[in-house]
């Protein structure tokens, strides 16, 4: 793994792995959504609305997973100073933010028939909204640091501090009197009927592959920008 901290080795791996992840993710996601939207029967209580599950739950997991990636990558950057770790954190920010937004939108659509309103200031919903704002703040901060030439430690520290929100999201339905249902899947057991569980797991796999492919694609683009800037600076110094 240490060897792939080298940008050249990383690019040689990412060059073929990126399209593999994106294509396989598209195929698996399409199959899972077809399964969940057309083959799964309506729920006894939620009716057809239950089909949002196959988009909402993977989006929620990947929204949290995206920030977990930022936090771990930021820690690696702060401890070992690997520049690729900082790039990985930035690469995970935009797709993580997109999945968090999808989670909030689909959750509101799901909540309208269940709770009679589009939004409540519930612990789970509010902490997910905070996560969306954290993503926006991280992206703006990382762009400002790059533009001003400031230390990359600043967004890395922000990424670590923001990780405090992840266990809050995870445990919010336990700590507070939440309208949101308790965790349906825990270690070693599931409260979800297998007819819903299996397409949900396949959908999660598909979206995870897509997430990984997008992160790699963004890392390659960020590396290309950094290398182009380095070449321009080198030529400017040579010309001077």
Q: Is residue 236 part of a domain?
A: no
> Angle, nearest 10°, between helix axes 53-80 and 83-115?
150
Q: Is residue 12 part of a domain?
A: no
How many Cα atoms sit within 13 Å of 162 on the Cβ side? 33
Number of domains in the chain: 1
The structure's pTM equals 0.90
Each residue's pLDDT expressed in tens, for the chain with a length of 240 residues: 454 567 889 999 999 999 999 999 999 999 999 999 999 998 887 788 889 999 999 999 999 999 999 999 999 999 999 899 999 999 999 999 999 999 999 999 988 887 888 888 888 999 999 999 999 999 999 999 998 888 899 999 999 999 999 999 998 877 766 666 666 555 455 567 888 899 999 999 999 999 999 999 999 999 998 887 767 677 777 776
Domain that holds residue 160: 49-176+193-231
Please report which helix (H) or strand (E) contains residue 234, including its range: helix 194-239
Q: Is residue 201 part of a domain?
A: yes
pLDDT at residue 187, rounded to an integer = 46
Q: Is residue 91 part of a domain?
A: yes
């Amino acid at each position: 793994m240490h060897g792939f901290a080298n940008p050249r080795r990383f690019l040689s791996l990412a060059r073929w792995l990126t399209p593999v992840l994106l294509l396989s993710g598209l195929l698996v996601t399409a199959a899972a959504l077809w399964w969940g939207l057309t083959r799964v029967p309506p729920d006894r209580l939620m009716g057809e609305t239950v089909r949002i599950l196959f988009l909402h739950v993977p989006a929620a997991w990947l929204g949290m997973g995206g920030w977990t990636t930022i936090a771990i990558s930021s820690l690696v950057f702060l401890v070992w100073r690997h520049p690729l770790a900082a790039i990985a954190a930035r690469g995970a920010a935009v797709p993580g933010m997109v999945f968090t937004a999808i989670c909030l939108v689909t959750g509101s659509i799901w909540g309208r028939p269940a709770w009679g309103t589009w939004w409540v200031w519930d612990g789970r919903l509010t902490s997910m909204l905070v996560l969306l704002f954290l993503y926006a703040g991280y992206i703006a901060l990382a762009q400002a640091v790059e533009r001003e030439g400031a230390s990359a430690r600043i967004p890395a520290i922000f990424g670590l501090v923001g990780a405090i929100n992840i266990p809050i999201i995870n445990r919010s339905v336990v700590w507070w009197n939440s309208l949101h249902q308790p965790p349906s899947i825990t270690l070693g057991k599931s409260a979800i009927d297998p007819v819903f569980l299996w397409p949900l797991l396949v959908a999660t796999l598909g979206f995870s592959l897509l997430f990984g492919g997008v992160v790699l694609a963004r890392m390659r683009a960020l590396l290309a920008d950094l290398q182009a800037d380095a070449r321009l600076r080198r030529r400017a110094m040579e010309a001077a």
